[in-house]
A and B are shown apart, each in its own frame.
Chain A
C-alpha cells in the first residue's frame, strides 16, 4: 500500500502489532507448557512457582515407552550398574522405579496405541479420499438428478453427533464381532470423513477447466483415461490437502474410539487421558505422550497452512 500514513495511524499500527504479539504468546503458552513439561525431571514438573529454566531430559520418554513398577527404595548398586544408559537416566533423576520383568524390556501400552492410531488414521484416510475423489468428479462433471439434495445428504452425515451414531453401531458391531477391531474404527472414520472429502474435492475439481478433458476426449482418450491421466494429476494438491485434513480428523477422534475399543484396537486419544487414573500421576510421562501425539499434527498444520481456510469451510471459501 502506497497510502501515506499519519503519525497517529503509525502509532495505532504499532499498538496493534504489540497486541497481536501478546495474543500469539498467550495462545501458544499452553502448548509451550505441555512441551516443556515433557522434558522436565519429575520433581520439577509440579513446583510452585512453576519451573521455567531447567536442564532438559529425555527420561520422561524412556518412562513413556517402557513398563515400570514402583520400588520402595532407590535401586541397588548392582541393578544400577547392570542397567543400560537410558535406564540410568531414569535412576539419575532420583526415581524409585524399575522396569518390570526379569531383565528383558517390556513395552508400555503407549507404542501399541500409537501404532493403532497410525493404522486406523492412514487406512481410513486412503479410503475416504479415494472414494471421495471419484464421487466428487461424478458430481462435478455429470448431471445428477437431485444433486443439491444428495450433497446435503452427504454433508449431513458428517454433522451427526458421534454418540448418536455410536449407540446403534455399537450394537451392530457387537453382533458381527467388529467391536475393538481396527476395521471397526476404520469404517466409522471413513464414513465420517467421506462427506468432507466429497465436498472439498468437488471444489478442487470444479476449478480444473473442463476443456482439458474435452481436448483429451477429442484426442482419443476414453473418459476413464482422461480422468486418471488429466484430472487426477491436476487435482494432486487438492487430494494432498484433503488427505491431511482427513488424517488429522481420524487421528484426533475420541468419542468413537472410547466407545468402540478397549484394548486391542484402542487408539491414543482414549488411552492418554486414562493414564491420569488414580493416585499421583507422573505429569512428565503424560506430557511426553501428549507431545509425541501432537507433533505430527503440528507439522501437518504448517504444511497445510495455505489450505486451512478452504478445508475448514468445506470448500465454500477459496483463497
Chain B
C-alpha cells in the first residue's frame, strides 16, 4: 500500500521557510483522514477477517475456536446462500434496467427547450434525495391491497403486491426505480447536453433517419456517462438493504444484505456472518474498481 512519503514540492523556498513547511502542512492535512479511515474502516475489517475463521457467536460468552476455512467452505456450498445471491442478481437486473429505461427516456424527452425545465428537473430529482427507509414505509401505504392508491389507480381491485411471493421483489424494484431513475436521468441529461449540436445538423443535412442519428451519434457520445450511472446503480442495488427490509419479509425478497443482517444480528452466527461479509466485500470492491476506472476516464475528457 502506498504511504505518504516526502517528495519535492513546487513551492518557492522563501515561502517554505516561513511558518510550517509545505511538507508538514501536507502531512498534517492528509494523514489524520487516512488514519481515521484506517481505524474505523480497515481495522474493523481486519478484526472481522479474524472472526471469519472462527465459530464465534456474539450472543454467548463462549470463547471463539479456530475452524479454519470451514465457514467459507460451508457458505460457498450452501444452496440457500446461492439462492440469496440469485435473488440479488435478479433484483439488480430488474431494478437497474428499469432505471436506465425510465431515466434515459425521460432525459431524451427533457433534452429540448421546455418551459420551466430547471424547475421540472429539480422536482424530478426529489425522490432520490429521500430516506430509503421512509420511502419504503410510505410505499407500503401506496401498495396496500385494500386501500392503496396504486391498486385504485390501476383498477387492480385487491391485488397483493407485497404479500405475494412472486410479486414482492418486483414491487421493491418498482419503488427503487421510482427513487433512482432520476439519478440516471440527471447523468444522461449531462451527457446529452454535451453532444455538439453541429453533429445533429450534419446528420440532418445527410438526411439520416432518427434511428441512425440515435445509434451513431447520441448513444456513443452519452455512453461513458451512462456507464457511470449504470455501474454506480448496480453497486448500490447489489448492496440494497433498507427498501427490501422495510417493504416485505418474504423469502423471495431476501437479498444478500438482508441474509447477512439476519445471520449476524438475529441468528448471532458472528463468525459465519463475517465470512459471508468478506465474500460480499470482495464482490463490491471488484465493482468499485470498474467504477473508479470509468470515473477517471470521464474526468480526463
Instruction: Please report A residues at the B interface, Cβ cutoff 8 Å.
Output: 1, 13, 16-17, 19-20, 23-24, 27-31, 33-34, 37, 46-50, 131-132, 134-135, 137-139, 141-146, 149-150, 152-157, 159-172, 174, 187-188, 190-191, 194-195, 198, 214, 217-218, 220, 222-225, 227, 248, 251-255, 259, 269-270, 272-273, 276, 283, 286-287, 290, 293-294, 297-298, 300-302, 305, 308-309, 312-314, 316-317, 319
Q: Provide the bound-state CA to CA distance between A163 and B45, in Å.
A: 12
B19 contacts chain A at the CB level, 8 A cutoff: yes
- Given the contacts A146-B3, A316-B298, A317-B187, A30 and B123 also touching, CB distance less than 8 Å: no
Interface residues of B in 243-300 (CB under 8 A from A): 246, 257, 260-261, 264-265, 270, 273-274, 277, 280-281, 284-285, 287-289, 291-292, 295-296, 298-299
B281, A164: Cβ atoms under 8 Å? Answer: yes
A168, B47: Cβ atoms under 8 Å? Answer: yes
Given A1-B113, A191-B40, A224-B19, 7 more A-B residue pairs with CB atoms under 8 Å apart are A20-B114, A27-B126, A30-B127, A164-B45, A169-B44, A290-B134, A312-B187
Q: Provide the bound-state CA to CA distance between A134 and B36, in Å.
A: 14
Interface residues of B in 104-138 (CB under 8 A from A): 106, 109-110, 112-115, 118, 120-127, 129-134, 136-138
Q: Which residue of A lies closest to B141 (CB)?
A: A283
B77 contacts chain A at the CB level, 8 A cutoff: no
B90 contacts chain A at the CB level, 8 A cutoff: no
- A48 to chain B: which residues have CB within 8 Å? 146-147, 152
- Given the contacts A16-B112, A47-B147, A269-B131, A224 and B25 also touching, CB distance less than 8 Å: yes
Comparing B8-16, B92-100, B160-168, the segment that makes contact with chain A is B8-16
- Given the contacts A217-B15, A317-B187, A317-B190, A293 and B131 also touching, CB distance less than 8 Å: yes
Q: Provide the bound-state CA to CA distance between A313 and B187, in Å.
A: 8
B241, A255: Cβ atoms under 8 Å? Answer: yes
Q: Which residue of B lies closest to A167 (CB)?
A: B264
Q: Provide the bound-state CA to CA distance between A198 and B36, in Å.
A: 13
**Chain A min CB distance to B267 (Å):** 12
B257, A163: Cβ atoms under 8 Å? Answer: yes
Q: Provide the bound-state CA to CA distance between A228 and B139, in Å.
A: 47
Q: Which residue of A lies closest to B39 (CB)?
A: A191
Instruction: Please report B residues at the A interface, Cβ cutoff 8 Å.
Output: 1-5, 7-12, 15-16, 18-20, 22-23, 25-26, 28-30, 32-34, 36-37, 40-42, 44-45, 47-48, 51, 58, 106, 109-110, 112-115, 118, 120-127, 129-134, 136-142, 144, 146-147, 149, 152, 178, 182-183, 186-187, 190, 225, 228, 235, 239, 241-242, 246, 257, 260-261, 264-265, 270, 273-274, 277, 280-281, 284-285, 287-289, 291-292, 295-296, 298-299
**Chain B min CB distance to A161 (Å):** 4
A301, B125: Cβ atoms under 8 Å? Answer: yes
Q: Which residue of B lies closest to A220 (CB)?
A: B18
A217, B142: Cβ atoms under 8 Å? Answer: no
Q: Provide the bound-state CA to CA distance between A31 and B7, in Å.
A: 54
B187, A217: Cβ atoms under 8 Å? Answer: no
B26, A30: Cβ atoms under 8 Å? Answer: no
Interface of A is mostly: helix
**Chain A min CB distance to B249 (Å):** 12
- A149 to chain B: which residues have CB within 8 Å? 1-2
B277, A167: Cβ atoms under 8 Å? Answer: yes
Q: Provide the bound-state CA to CA distance between A31 and B139, in Å.
A: 10
**Chain A min CB distance to B88 (Å):** 11
Q: Which residue of B lies closest to A146 (CB)?
A: B2
- B110 to chain A: which residues have CB within 8 Å? 20
Q: Provide the bound-state CA to CA distance between A30 and B45, in Å.
A: 39
Q: Provide the bound-state CA to CA distance between A29 and B138, in Å.
A: 12
What are 18 A-B interface contacts by the 8 Å CB criterion?
A: A23-B106, A27-B182, A134-B30, A144-B4, A146-B1, A156-B285, A161-B277, A161-B280, A161-B281, A164-B281, A165-B41, A167-B277, A220-B18, A224-B25, A276-B140, A294-B131, A312-B187, A313-B295
Q: Provide the bound-state CA to CA distance between A300 and B129, in Å.
A: 9
A145, B33: Cβ atoms under 8 Å? Answer: no
**Chain B min CB distance to A302 (Å):** 6
Q: Provide the bound-state CA to CA distance between A144 and B292, in Å.
A: 19
B288, A155: Cβ atoms under 8 Å? Answer: yes
**Chain B min CB distance to A167 (Å):** 5
B138, A290: Cβ atoms under 8 Å? Answer: yes
A157, B41: Cβ atoms under 8 Å? Answer: yes
Q: Provide the bound-state CA to CA distance between A32 and B137, in Å.
A: 15
A161, B284: Cβ atoms under 8 Å? Answer: yes
A142, B133: Cβ atoms under 8 Å? Answer: no
B142, A273: Cβ atoms under 8 Å? Answer: no
- A160 to chain B: which residues have CB within 8 Å? 41, 45, 281, 284
- B131 to chain A: which residues have CB within 8 Å? 251-254, 269, 293-294, 297
**Chain A min CB distance to B208 (Å):** 15
- A50 to chain B: which residues have CB within 8 Å? 147, 149, 152
**Chain A min CB distance to B43 (Å):** 8
Partner of B4, one of A16, A31, A145, A308: A145
A27, B124: Cβ atoms under 8 Å? Answer: yes
B129, A194: Cβ atoms under 8 Å? Answer: no
Q: Provide the bound-state CA to CA distance between A190 and B36, in Å.
A: 9
B37, A254: Cβ atoms under 8 Å? Answer: no
**Chain A min CB distance to B137 (Å):** 5
- B115 to chain A: which residues have CB within 8 Å? 17
B33, A131: Cβ atoms under 8 Å? Answer: yes
- B11 to chain A: which residues have CB within 8 Å? 217, 223
Q: Which residue of B lies closest to A5 (CB)?
A: B113
